Amino acid sequence: MFEHFKATIRHEVEEFLATRKMQRAIELSQRTGQHFNHNEYPMFFTGALESQIVLVHLNPKQANNTAPTYAGPLWLENFDTYFTYRDIRQKPDSSESLVSAYCLLMRCTTSDYPTFG
């Protein structure tokens, strides 16, 4: 399952890097009537992809972006850089807390929500 999911992520990220957009996100928006940013770096995961529990969030608290393509510099220039950036195990301090925009707004602390390993 891990390799299949990683291959899917690779396909989407490489499409984004080549075209600055993701066609599947455009199609998902059209099919559901829900806005999904097709023109921002995708956020498939933050953490360890092979964990027992992986939560998938289709709209990762980004502001709606209606530009036709990504406009900024490509700061994650290839799939390997992207994957390492999203894999918390690769960070120097793997105890780093990932706090959502909601928690920042509500002044949550890491003890307000469970930790999964």
**Tens digit of pLDDT for each residue in 35-82?**
989 999 888 776 677 777 666 666 667 889 999 999 999 999 999 998
* pLDDT score for 54: 63
Pairwise pLDDT comparison (82 vs 101), residue with the higher score: 82
Backbone φ and ψ for 107, nearest 5 degrees, come out as: 60, 45
81 is a domain residue: yes
pLDDT score for 6: 86
Gap between the terminal Cα atoms of the chain: 18
Domain total of the chain: 1
* pLDDT value for 113: 39
Global pTM? 0.68
What's the CA dihedral at 12, 14, 16, 17 to 10 degrees?
A: 160
Question: Is residue 117 one of the residues assigned to a domain?
Answer: no
pLDDT of residue 98: 46
Cβ atoms of 43 and 57 within 8 Å: the answer is yes
114 within domain boundaries: no
